[in-house]
Structure 1
Amino acid sequence: MADYTSLAIGINRYQYIQPLSYAQQDAQAIHQLLVEETELPPEQALMLTDASPWVEQHTTEPTQATIQYWLNQWLPRQPKGLLWFFFSGYGVTWQDEDYLMPIDGNPADIPGTALHLPTVVNQIQQAGFQKILMLLDINRSPGVIAGQSVGSQIAQLAPEQGVSLVLSSQVEEASHEHGALGHGMFTAALLEGLRYYSANLTLDKLSHYLYERLPELSEHHWRPMQHPLIIIPSIESAQEPLLPRLESENIQMAAAPTPVLTAPPIEPKSPQPDPVEAAVSDDPDVLPPELLPEPLEAPPEAIAALNTPDVAAGNEPSLPPFGATPPPRGAVENPTPPPTEPPQPLAAPAVPEPLPRRSQPTQKQQSWLWYGSGALVFLGLLGVLWFFQNRDQAPVVEVPTPEAVDPSSNDSSAAAPAPPTSALPTATENPPAAQPTPSPSVPTTLAESQAILAKARTYIQSNQATGFSQAIAEASKIPPGAPLHAEAQADISRWSQVILDIARGRANQGDFAGAIAAAQLVSAQSAPAHQTAQQQLGQWQAQAEQQKKNSETIRTARRQIRATQASSFSDGIQTLRTIPAGQPGYGQAQDLIERWSKQIYLLANSRARQKNYKQAITTAQLVPQGTPSYDAAQQAIARWQQGKP
């Protein structure tokens, strides 16, 4: 791998931005795979991460100054074949310029602290590399850094400068990580593809793999759909190997002689010793341990045979159920079969003798049984009589019954005990009137109303629809007639309008599901905002359904793409054109049509450089009219028809 160089950068612990979880692990995995599995010399591979060791007495912490140092000092000394440039971390677009964020990149000063991506490409090209492969796992968490999505500028610049570019996601998408993978979704799919193809890896094969695998991983791990953005400047770049064959494999293939298959000579068969005979010792009655049979459970007939006098004398028993007596063990050495006795008819199985009957009890024993039985019956009768006698007397002595009370008595209190006064009121008492107690959540004083409003206003600091909804719920605790009720209602109306504005903003960005969720939080206490939200809900729900359908159309078009087949880009463009103007996803479809049209034009140029003008003209004719590449394609067709490059 003498003509290959690798530079891998991965950043987790940003100084001014929310840290990432697996960017450093992404760079380490790519670095280790190239060094350990492709035998890339360690001096031709450099890794810049949060925890990477010093190299050549210089730090490798990926600050802006450190990255610039290695680009200017280390890259020019490396072999000038193929450069693998891998970056995993934050990227941002500022004033239509793409930047990579180093570990000390500050969103407040992007031009002064970030790495200008076109400048990085120029530095790499000035180092003299013949081929450049840029793998950028960026576009993470779009809400972290304000600005446009990164990738548009480098996607336009890469084919013009002959750089093979693989972005982790489309410009309008975001990259994601997952703890189960231990990597970013893109890097996990990339590592799978590198190991799957190994020395047979080409950019064409890698693009096919990523187009299929990355959306599968996103769906499997419940992440938003993520599709790679791949720019291949020429057909030659797509078909050239990215990982050469290992040196150890080349040596083995060169040293290994080609095997010549020859049939073995046929020899006359000679009597072979029986394996059992070869294993038998000198004593024919003793078998080696490896030939001893496993113990078997003997049948009942064999157990009965063990009780015969022959067994007691030390002779082997004969087992009638098996017929003839088995040959002696020494017969194994005799090639001729031993003489056998004529078969005897099978004897009927012996009927087992009946068990001996128990002895009959004596007359004295029978007499004792009769006496004992009679005594038990007598005691049982006495117990029954005692039970009935005591049952009739028990109620009179222990528990007085109502029948025992004198019916002539006029004292009603004697008939039944009076219930406790603490449990039930007497007939002459009037129950006290229920006094309303104030609820702790309903304010009765100005201070309580002020406390409720102060708590409600703390919820709106998040500037999220759910925060305003919680504030409305808290302010609604101030009822009519309570202090500050009018002020609370004014806040509720204002906050409801803010929620409606948030919903509209999400709808304008194409997030109809988020718009619907926000509109459902508009309080009914604010009649104008609630009525407007209900009207918008029906429209947004229809647009959300149409967006889902158009998103599936876009996914179908992406699955049609093959990096080196111009016809696949043309088929994808035709699929995208089924999305009407004004519908959700139309702008995304137009961006893809423009990008794929340029890719067709690049493929036509690659074929023209090979002097294959006829095929180049056929390819250029696939560039659709109305795209930025159409005029350039028509001019190229005119030249190629005259045989001019």
Structure 2
Amino acid sequence: MADYTSIAIGIDRYQFIQPLSYAQDDAQAIQHLLLEETGLPAEQALLMTDSSAWLGGKSTQPSKENIFYWLDAWLEKQSTSLLWFFFSGYGVSWQGVDYLMPIDGNPADIPNTGIPARELFEHLKQKGFDQILALLDINRSPGVIAGEPVGSEIAQFAPEMGISLILSSQLEESSHEAVALGHGIFSAALLEALRYFGQDIVLHDLSGYLYDRLPELSEHHWRPIQHPLIVIPSIELAEQALLPTGGTAQAATAIAPIITGEETAREEAIATEENALASEMELETAKVPSLPDLPPLKTASEGNNDNGEVFQDTHPENMPQIPAAEAAKKPGRPKNLSILMGAGAILLALLALFWFGRPREEIAETPPPDPSSAPAIADPDPTALPSPVTTAESPVSTATQNAATAEPQNSTPPNTPETNAATEPPPPLTTEGSRSILARARTYIQTNQASGFSRGIEEAQKIQPGAPLYAEAQADISRWSEVILDIARGRAAKGNFSTAIAAAKLVPPEQAPTYAEAQKSVTLWTEQGKQQTVNNRIIRSARRMVRTNQASSYNKAINELKKVPQGQPGYLQARNLTESWSRQIYLIANSRAARGSYQQAIVSAKLIPEGTSSYNDAQKAIARWQQGRR
């Protein structure tokens, strides 16, 4: 019998937040895979989505009340050793507290309608599971909910509770969905990993797969790159079965030679660490199969991702060619269809003969009319209905037809009535006309869309000097120009330099002071975008160095991050990673000390760099371990 329990929650149709597209599908796919492909009994799997079935006369829709009800009522009946907790939906950090947003969560009242993550995890811990695996596909669509990036608090208290945590993205990133996948990108990678490793999967396998695959899927589907944030409380948990059967899962015995002698220098510590883990690395290499090759990418066009790097547009929805043997089995076309296609081909041939057989002069393109002879036509109202067909009595219609059929040489005498009519200025705007233009301009305004303000400015500019409400129109244009620049600055502050530059370029030149500031900012952001590209390559390189249970790999990755200069784009991300990876080294060292391998624990702890929050804890622990005490 399967010795694990699963709760899968997925929310699309939020009551107070912009809906998601595939969160419900994510949860359903996780439950289906566990039930159908790993043999999990239905009574050990709970699904809570927008449309999940009622159980025992009680709704399973993931409201705040229902989620806590089922955590108490349903989990009380479970007696397995491992709990899978999967959540796909919105999360938010508010005043330093991380919340998961239920279907009735309201951004205007997060503390009362959101679910505090710590409170949720405490509920799970009280149920007596030996191991809890939390898989959180949260932090989607940044900017939808106010607050700081979610996940920082969860990543801190999860290891303290002994909970293994996998977040769908790093704190400074966001999760994304892909139409071609029909899932969130994280959930799609998770499903791939479960199918790839099957019943033998352990947390070390899963984390390694997600580290490699998640960025690949992001690039493949034209989404900003996201990387998983993985926190494992101990090395034993990294090697425990995630789909255990027949009782409590047993931790794999770590194999490492005994290390003698005390190393003091950092470089010597690294060398000792690598020697101590040599046999572990050999076993890992033999155990973990290489990732499956991606299908060949079909290039359609090239573009730029959010980091300014060129990538190729690929289309995973392109279907493979049907083998000849399969094609032969397909029924033939109906006879009537063949007749229709033949008739169509004959008709096309006759049309082509008629068209290309005409004299060259007849099909020659009509020369464009002389602009000087065209009448001045006021811009149409885009909100108005289409105009009825004009008649010969309409002066605009007559002038337009004359201009369209004019000969290349203008044969109209210079002082004819037609010429005088064409040079007459449009009738002056009335107060009502100006008010209508301003009202239309204001309909384009959207809170966070620079393009909407730009369209509003373009419309308001139709009110020329001397027209009624000109001063009011200019005040709007000035204010909207400043808002565009503010939007651009907000994007740049988040590191989205390409979209910041695109917004700043919408500031009209007529607004001289704001335009000058925008141009200065474009120059600065262009340079910062280049720096960001270089630093992102460094960060990606560091991520690839990390191996879940090897302290020396984290240390090498931290040293790689030091190449990102302070004050440059990406520095904060590098600093956060340094903190997170230093904590992982400390956890690895503690795990080794708990097994009595004090010398290995000391070697690992010495790899924690100064200036990190884990450094002082590590130094105190080293002093204890040197005396043979935990």
On whether the aligned pair clears a TM of 0.5, the verdict is yes
Deviation at 1:58, TM superposition (A): 2.7
> Would the aligned equivalents of 2:64 and 2:113 in 1 still touch at CA under 8 Å?
yes
Residues 68 and 425 of structure 1, relative CA distance in 2, 3 Å threshold: closer
Relative to structure 2, which stretch is displaced further, 536-545 or 491-500?
491-500
Question: Shift in Å at residue 169 of structure 1?
Answer: 0.8
CA positional deviation for 1:175:
0.9
CA deviation after TM superposition for structure 1 residue 485, in Å: 3.6
| Cα deviation, residue 441, structure 1 | 7.2
CA distances 1:60-96 after superposition (whole Å, capped 9, x unpaired): 2212111111111221221241111111111111211
Q: Is the 8 A contact 1:85 1:133 kept in 2?
A: yes
Which amino acid is the alignment partner of residue 232 of structure 1? Answer: I
Could you tell me how far apart the structure 2 residues matched to 1:39 and 1:124 are?
23
- 4+ long deviations beyond 6 Å: 423-430, 438-442
Whichever of the two has the greater Rg, that structure is: 1
- Structure 2 counterparts to residues 523-534 of structure 1, below 5 A: 523-534=508-519
Report how far residue 618 of structure 1 moved: 0.3
Q: In the TM superposition, what is the alpha-carbon distance from 1:490 to its structure 2 partner?
A: 3.6
Contact conserved, 1:38 with 1:244, CA < 8 A, in 2? no
Matched, 1:520 2:543: no
Q: Name which of structure 1's ranges 501-510 and 157-166 shifts more when overlaid on structure 2.
A: 501-510
Q: What does 1:55-94 correspond to in 2, within 5 Å?
A: 55-94=55-94
The one-letter code of the counterpart of 1:36 is E
State the partner residue of 1:128. 128
1:543-602 per-residue CA deviation (whole Å, 9 max, x = no partner) reads 111111111211111111111111111111111111111101111110110111011000
Give the match for residue 46 of structure 2: 46
CA distance in 2, matches of 1:629, 1:522: 47
Structure 1 residues 359-397: Cα deviation after superposition (integer angstroms, max 9, x where no partner):
xxxxxxxxxxxxxxxxxxxxxxxxxxxxxxxxxxxxxxx
CA change 1:541–1:443 in 2 (3 A) is farther
Question: Which of the residues 441, 445, 448 maps onto 1:456?
Answer: 441
**What amino acid is the match of 2:444?**
Y
Deviations 1:207-248 (A, max 9, x none): 00000111111110111111111101100000111123699x
8 Å CA contact 2:207, 2:548 repeated in 1: yes
Change (3 A) 1:506 1:246: same
**Cα distance in structure 2, aligned partners of 1:425 and 1:586:** 66
Equivalent in the alignment of 1:601: 586
1:502 matches 2:481: no
Equivalent position amino acid for 1:211 in 2: Y
Contact 1:560–1:568 (CA under 8 A) maintained in structure 2:
yes
**Post-superposition offset of 1:195:** 0.9
CA distance in 2, matches of 1:136, 1:638: 37
The structure with higher relative contact order (CA 8 Å, sep 6+) is: 2
Q: Which residue of 2 aligns with 1:357?
A: none
Name 1:141's counterpart in structure 2.
Answer: 141
Task: Label 1:430 to 1:93 Cα distance change in 2 as closer, same or farther (>3 A).
Answer: closer
How big is the shift at 1:443?
A: 3.9
Corresponding residue SS for 2:13: coil
Match of 2:174 in 1: 174
Aligned to 1:572: 557
Task: Note the C-alpha offset of 1:462.
Answer: 4.0
The Cα shift of 1:433 comes to 7.4
Could you tell me how far 1:480 is from its partner in structure 2?
Answer: 3.4
> Is the deviation greater in 40-49 or in 221-230?
40-49
In structure 2, stretches of 5+ residues that fail to align are: 248-406
Q: Write the letter of the residue equivalent to 1:78.
A: Q
Pairs within 5 Å for 1:9-408:
9-244=9-244
Aligned-partner Cα distance in 2 for 1:93–1:588: 18
- Which residue is equivalent to 1:293? none
Tell me whether 184-193 or 461-470 shows the greater mean CA deviation.
461-470
Gaps (5+ residues) in structure 1?
248-422
Correspondence 1:415-494 to 2 at 5 A: 431-432=416-417, 434-437=419-422, 443-494=428-479
Find out whether 1:617 has 2:602 as its counterpart.
yes
Q: Would the aligned equivalents of 1:516 and 1:537 in 2 still touch at CA under 8 Å?
A: yes
1:39 touches 1:246 (CA, 8 Å); kept in 2?
Answer: no
Q: CA deviation at 1:632?
A: 0.3
C-alpha spacing 1:52/1:447, structure 2 compared with 1 (3 Å) = closer
| Cα pair distance change 1:137/1:562, threshold 3 Å | same
Query: Quick one: distance in 2 between partners of 1:19 and 1:431?
Result: 63
Distance 2:493 2:581 in 1: 26
Q: Over aligned residue pairs, what C-alpha RMSD do you find?
A: 2.5
| Equivalence map 1:551-590=2 (5 Å) | 551-590=536-575
TM-fit CA distance, 1:536: 2.0
The offset of 1:430, in angstroms, is: 7.5
The alpha-carbon distance between structure 1 residues 499 and 53, as it changes in their structure 2 partners (threshold 3 A), is: closer
Paired residue type of 2:525: W
**Counterpart Cα distance in 2 of 1:582 and 1:428:** 69
Partner of 2:297: none
Which amino acid is the alignment partner of residue 223 of structure 1? R
Residues 54 and 447 of structure 1, relative CA distance in 2, 3 Å threshold: closer
How far did 1:429 drift?
Answer: 12
Q: 1:483 to 1:223 in 2, by over 3 A?
A: same
Separation in structure 2 between the aligned mates of residue 59 and residue 425 of structure 1, nearest angstrom: 79
Distance 2:414 2:521 in 1: 62
Report what 2:343 is aligned to. Answer: none
- Offset of residue 432 of structure 1: 4.5
Greater CA drift, 5-14 or 126-135: 5-14
CA distance in 2, matches of 1:440, 1:223: 50
- After TM superposition, give the deviation of residue 437 of structure 1 in Å: 4.7
Secondary structure of residue in 1 paired with 2:444: helix
Superposed CA deviations along residues 2-58 of structure 1, whole A, max 9, x for unmatched, are 421111111222222222221111111111211222222221221112222222343
Cα pair 1:12 1:24 within 8 Å, conserved = yes
148 and 430 in structure 1: CA distance in 2 versus 1, 3 angstrom threshold: closer
Q: Distance in 1 between matches of 2:45 and 2:595?
A: 34
SS in 2 for 1:48: strand
**Contact 2:203/2:240 (CA < 8 Å) preserved in 1?**
yes
Go from structure 1 to structure 2 and tell me whether the alpha carbon gap of 1:625 and 1:435 turns closer, same or farther (over 3 Å shift).
Answer: same
Q: Could you give the per-residue CA deviations for residues 328-353 of structure 1, whole angstroms, max 9, x where no partner exists?
A: xxxxxxxxxxxxxxxxxxxxxxxxxx
SS at match of 1:209: helix
Q: Are the counterparts in 2 of residues 98 and 116 from structure 1 also a CA contact under 8 Å?
A: yes
Paired positions, count:
470
* Structure 1 position 449, deviation (Å): 2.8
**In the aligned structure 1, how far is the partner of 2:414 from the partner of 2:500?**
63
Shift of 1:459: 2.3
Amino acid at match of 1:22: Y
Partner SS state of residue 92, structure 1: strand
Post-superposition offset of 1:497: 2.4
Shift of 1:431: 4.2
Q: Residue type matched to 1:20 in 2?
A: L
Give the 3 Å change call, closer, same or farther, for CA 443–504 of structure 1 in structure 2. Answer: farther
Partner deviation per Cα, 1:186-225 (whole Å, 9 max, x = no partner): 1111011011111220100100000011111111011111
3-state SS in 2 of match to 1:643: coil
| CA 1:484–1:9: 2 relative to 1, 3 Å | closer
Q: Does the 8 Å CA contact 2:441/2:457 hold for their aligned counterparts? A: yes
CA contact (8 A) 2:167 2:230 kept: yes
Q: Aligned-pair distance for 1:486?
A: 4.0
Distance 1:632 1:567 in 2: 18
CA contact (8 A) 1:93 1:150 kept: yes
In 2, Cα distance between equivalents of 1:510 and 1:602: 32
Q: Match of 2:294?
A: none
Distance, in Å, in 1 between the alignment partners of 2:587 and 2:63 is: 36
Normalised by the size of structure 2, how large is the TM-score?
0.71
Matched AA of 2:557:
G
- Please report how far the alpha carbon of residue 98 of structure 1 lies from its aligned counterpart in structure 2 after TM superposition: 1.1
Once the two structures are TM-superposed, the CA of residue 475 in structure 1 deviates from its matched residue by 2.1
Deviates more, 1:478-487 or 1:158-167: 478-487
Residue of structure 1 in register with 2:303 after alignment: none
